[in-house]
Amino acid sequence: MGHTETLEKLHLIDREHRYLERIIAVLQWDEETYLPESGVEERSEQLALLEGIAHARLVSPETGRLLEELGSTPDNAGGDEKLPSLERDFLKTFRHNYDRSIKLPGDFVSAAARAEGLSQAAWAAARRDNDFLAFLPHLEKMIDFSRRRALYWGYDDNPYDGLLDIYEPGMGASGIDAVFTPLGAKLSALLKQLASRPRPDTSFLDQDFDAEKQACFSRDLMGRLGFDKKRGRLDISAHPFTTTLGDDDIRITTRYLPRQVQSGIFSTIHESGHAFYEMGFPRELGSSCLADGASMGIHESQSRLWENVIGRSRAFWKAMFPVLQSYFPEALSRPNAEDFYRAINLVEPSLIRIEADEVSYSLHIILRFELEKALFSGSLTPAELPAAWRKKMKEYLGVEPETDAQGVLQDIHWSMGSFGYFPSYALGNLYGLQFWEKLNADVPGVDEAIAAGNFSPIRSWLRDTIYVWGRRLAPEDLLKTVTGKSLSAEPFLSYIESKYNGIYGY
Amino acid sequence: MGHTETLEKLHLIDREHRYLERIIAVLQWDEETYLPESGVEERSEQLALLEGIAHARLVSPETGRLLEELGSTPDNAGGDEKLPSLERDFLKTFRHNYDRSIKLPGDFVSAAARAEGLSQAAWAAARRDNDFLAFLPHLEKMIDFSRRRALYWGYDDNPYDGLLDIYEPGMGASGIDAVFTPLGAKLSALLKQLASRPRPDTSFLDQDFDAEKQACFSRDLMGRLGFDKKRGRLDISAHPFTTTLGDDDIRITTRYLPRQVQSGIFSTIHESGHAFYEMGFPRELGSSCLADGASMGIHESQSRLWENVIGRSRAFWKAMFPVLQSYFPEALSRPNAEDFYRAINLVEPSLIRIEADEVSYSLHIILRFELEKALFSGSLTPAELPAAWRKKMKEYLGVEPETDAQGVLQDIHWSMGSFGYFPSYALGNLYGLQFWEKLNADVPGVDEAIAAGNFSPIRSWLRDTIYVWGRRLAPEDLLKTVTGKSLSAEPFLSYIESKYNGIYGY
């Protein structure tokens, strides 16, 4: 069998694996959006079965044989050096997924999927009822599954490193520490400095904003940003997310809080940023494992760039405030675009990560990163989490949640077993600003385009410069290729300082 | 291996097969309700893959071995006579499904699923654009797949018999003819008779009814009927349907036409009737193939009973008209419950089956039955369908559609390859009235309960008398067991005559 034929067979296995992953994504999307309450239990069984099937097909002996024929080994994942570079990149990524999968027993994969489905539902109920103890047994199970996953994969020091690797390959806890420690110190100092300055007026945000009208504005807004509604949609879930159900079926969710209109808006922009990345992979990567983000940190760089750097900018609201006003003519009759810009950029330590301002946001992440590290090193038990959470909130942000719903239960991630994901958000802030610097160097008049409601220069640059690579480059290589530099917090910190100096005049 | 262990293994195969069928149902439900336009193509590939996997697992050699060990053969499907009767019933139904499946090659199953996904989307677009020719190649493919399916299964005279058997086992085209011919003649005669009588006032229905308010009323109404919203939900689709996504996840859809408020209402009641059946199987049938309707005709008996016999009754609107009025106080300020009852029971030949009155409804079915028969005997080509449709509409109902959208393109069934399904609706009318006679003999004061908005006596009787059997009895056996009688059109015809004599005084 020649390489061409072998590659074709492997591409088929890869494509069918992705179809199965996307069917799983349909089931999960449905679970978060429309599944009737009593349907959760059987849905978990369905997910367990399908995860098991997908896993068994991927790690079948045939896959191993085909990889071998192409010269791909754990040490030379790209295979035969005479293969075209696109195929070698494909083999590297495919082999990475395959090596990870084959280390996990099929029963383990099914059991984890079953437990995750139940755990998510239990989390949603526990958060609603503010009942951490009801969620605790699920949380313990999720930690146990993650620990075993890390064991199967192998790790040097802490199993947490193995988990971090899923989301940000190669960084590890110590690599992240090295970035987060100085970042946290600088942000804390800035936070203290801003606390002594006069607070922008936010009183007009403290009104009732009809949820149905919020939804209409969100749909309008995503269209203006360039979201192709033939290839995706917007729904409502307890926790906003983006999911890819097909090459041409990328869905986002948001939530509408009647007395916090900005929450639905910025979630919509954030998830649109993820969706643009998923929608923007070149067709030549097709439905292959290369049509994927470089890492979760890079993915979050896209969402947080749109949400914050673009979406919370003065230029953005110059264009969009009149639009928002047209949906809420009465509630927003008093403020002008500048008032709105200042209000949504209020810096104030608060309880909820996804509502946090840009200055304090990364401190929410550092807190979670440290708790995860402690959980997996064994120095913290799951039962101790609520108290540890409150203590660290007090320490880093000076505020303490009155309820666990506003504390340790606020995020969905742990209920899905996604330990190690949180650092991606803060890394995304850093990557994002490095990309943004380069974008502004390459494209003249970005601010003016935004102020005119024209986002196509931004989208084109992102597509041609970042999306085009899919998962062909590792995050650090992508960063180097695009910006010529390594990971650095400087662009982020100088953006923050200049922006908030402008608002607060400190 | 003892029988107990063998049975356990077979039940596991059955249960997992049902999970896969329900995952397929999730994908299809999503395709009809929320799938973005451009996602159709990949969704068809996902369906093809999953149908292929489900099929291959069901017909694996292990399944055959287990059936053999239990003494189940095509001629003695129930297996070893010492097995408990519930297990023998399980084996009969499981074997029936297995025998059907194993005759179909896996490639065929995948190809059919792929084509069906594309065909449904093409149908929806063709109906929207009134473009039969755009749909024709898909229709031809669907007919070809059905013909080949019938060939694989084998049949005596016409492949159509093999298809009818999917929905109403054992009746065949000649059995249906024997029922439909006299039924059609009597309904036609009655239709002519009613045409000469004064027409009820329906002018108040010809107003704009806000779709969002219609949706609120439908949700309210289904709750009052007894729909358990923790175990199901209501959505919107181009063509109303019911689908089972889990034992505790049964979903219905409807559609809201601004100038035809009754359309959304009666679709909601119709689909609720299907859902009650699916929700009502006893837990002991569990997630097994016995938790299913006895046939599609029996299934339609449940939906049409709720829609028409209950939902279009004077007693029903005595209870529900004030509720409907509260949603549309202005539009419905003039009529009273009796006016509304008479208006929604207007008998008038019309173009759209699902909007048809009870007298002309079965004629729409007879038309479709005859066209399907002609298609599969070869005396009619798919391209000739629009003209044949118009001719028969003129002949049976005296009206002719101006567009194919209102004619041959109105129903989704053929686009899904569901040839042979339509007769179920008319059979359902007949079964339904036979059950209704018995229900009224068993339960005193049914009409009074309905008039008081109390449907629990009806639901309890249906559950304890019909749902309790699941698919354990063949349709004719269920009918005999419940009513002591064979299939007969008499109860239906005498119901029709007495009801419409009451309204029209002919």
- Is B20's CB within 8 Å of A49's CB? yes
The pLDDT tens digits for A180-201 are: 999 999 999 999 999 999 999 9
**Which of B35, B45, B249 is nearest residue A35 as measured by Cβ atoms?**
B249
CB–CB of B90/B80 below 8 Å? no
CB–CB of A345/A326 below 8 Å? no
Answer yes or no: is pLDDT of A469 > 70: yes
A246 close contact with B: CB closer than 8 A: yes
What local confidence, expressed as pLDDT, does residue B1 receive?
Answer: 61
Phi, psi of A37 (to 5 degrees): -50, -45
Q: Tell me the pLDDT band of A505, cut-offs 50, 70 and 90.
A: confident
Which residue type occupies A360?
S
- List the single best residue of A230, A249, A250 to mutate versus B (max B Cβ within 10 A): A249
- CA–CA gap between residue A479 and residue A483 (Å, rounded): 6
Strands across the sheet containing B232-236: B232-236, B249-254, B242-246
**Which of B22, B49, B53 is nearest residue A46 as measured by Cβ atoms?**
B22
Is A271 among the catalytic positions? Answer: yes
- List the single best residue of A14, A33, A43 to mutate versus B (max B Cβ within 10 A): A43
Query: A4-30: b or e for each residue (b if 16 or more CB lie within 10 Å)?
Result: eebbebbbebbbbbbbbbbbbbbbbbb
- Of B502, B238, B453, give the one whose Cα is nearest residue B324: B453
- Is B232's CB within 8 Å of A46's CB? no
| Residues of chain B contacting A37 with CB distance shorter than 8 Å | 230
Answer yes or no: is pLDDT of A506 > 80: no
**Does the predicted TM-score (pTM) go above 0.90?**
yes
Answer yes or no: is pLDDT of A287 > 90: no
Q: Tell me the pLDDT band of B156, cut-offs 50, 70 and 90.
A: confident
B45 close contact with A: CB closer than 8 A: yes
Answer yes or no: is pLDDT of A178 > 90: yes
- Of A4, A43, A9, give the one whose Cα is nearest residue A24: A43
Q: Which residue of the set A32, A87, A271, A278 is catalytic?
A: A271
- DSSP character at residue B480: H
Using the structure block, give the residue that is written with the tokens 């209402």. B265
What local confidence, expressed as pLDDT, does residue A286 receive?
Answer: 80
**Which of A46, A246, A248 is nearest residue B23 as measured by Cβ atoms?**
A46
The pLDDT tens digits for B195-226 are: 999 999 999 999 999 999 999 999 999 999 99
Pinpoint the alpha helices (H) of B79-131. 85-102, 106-129
What local confidence, expressed as pLDDT, does residue B165 receive?
Answer: 92
- CA–CA gap between residue A399 and residue A129 (Å, rounded): 22
CA angle B241, B210, B307 (to 5 degrees): 35
- Is A247's CB within 8 Å of B42's CB? yes
Pinpoint the alpha helices (H) of B284-422. 296-304, 314-327, 337-344, 358-377, 385-397
The pLDDT tens digits for A69-99 are: 999 999 999 999 999 999 999 999 999 999 9
- CA–CA gap between residue A308 and residue A312 (Å, rounded): 5
- Is A248's CB within 8 Å of B53's CB? no
The pLDDT tens digits for A390-400 are: 999 999 999 99
- CA–CA gap between residue B191 and residue B363 (Å, rounded): 10
- What's the gap in Å between the CA of B51 and the closest CA on chain A? 12
| Residues of chain B contacting A43 with CB distance shorter than 8 Å | 246, 249
Answer yes or no: is pLDDT of A1 > 80: no
- DSSP character at residue A309: I
Q: Output the CA torsion sign for A219, A224, A226, A230.
A: positive
pLDDT, averaged across chain A: 96
DSSP string, A21-46: HHHHHHHHHHHHHT--GGGHHHHHHH
Q: What percent of chain A is predicted at pLDDT more than 70?
A: 100
- Rounded mean pLDDT, B29-58: 96
Q: Which residue of the set B271, B300, B307, B358 is catalytic?
A: B271
Count A/B contacts: CB-CB distance under 8 Å.
94
- Is B46's CB within 8 Å of A232's CB? no
B42 close contact with A: CB closer than 8 A: yes
- Rounded mean pLDDT, B401-428: 96
What local confidence, expressed as pLDDT, does residue B506 receive?
Answer: 75
A210 close contact with B: CB closer than 8 A: no
3-state class (DSSP) for residue A402: coil
**Structure-block tokens of residue A211:** 């949820």
C-alpha distance from residue B242 to each of A352, B18, B200, B306, B329 (Å):
40, 17, 32, 14, 31
DSSP string, A119-135: HHHHHHHHHHHT-HHHH
The span from the first CA to the last CA of chain A, in angstroms, equals 70
Q: Tell me the pLDDT band of A477, cut-offs 50, 70 and 90.
A: very high
Residue of chain A minimizing CA distance to B45? A19
- Is A36's CB within 8 Å of B233's CB? yes
B248 close contact with A: CB closer than 8 A: yes
Phi, psi of A123 (to 5 degrees): -60, -45
- Is B19's CB within 8 Å of A43's CB? no
Q: Which residues 52-71 of B have a C-beta within 8 angstroms of A?
A: 53
**Which of A36, A247, A248 is nearest residue B231 as measured by Cβ atoms?**
A36
The pLDDT tens digits for B80-89 are: 999 999 999 9
What local confidence, expressed as pLDDT, does residue B287 receive?
Answer: 82
- Rounded mean pLDDT, A252-279: 97
ipTM entry: 0.95
- Of A284, A308, A230, give the one whose Cα is nearest residue A469: A284
What local confidence, expressed as pLDDT, does residue A156 receive?
Answer: 80
**Looking at chain B, how many residues does it have?**
506
Which secondary-structure segment (H or E) carries B66? helix B61-69
B37 close contact with A: CB closer than 8 A: yes
CB–CB of A238/A412 below 8 Å? yes
Using the structure block, give the residue that is written with the tokens 């229709």. B139
- CA–CA gap between residue A483 and residue B103 (Å, rounded): 60
Residue of chain A minimizing CA distance to B25? A27
The pLDDT tens digits for B443-479 are: 999 999 999 999 999 999 999 999 999 999 999 999 9
- CA–CA gap between residue A35 and residue B192 (Å, rounded): 48
- Is B38's CB within 8 Å of A233's CB? no
Residue of chain B minimizing CA distance to A25? B27
A35 close contact with B: CB closer than 8 A: yes
Which residue type occupies B67?
L
**Structure-block tokens of residue A115:** 């437990």
- DSSP character at residue A260: B
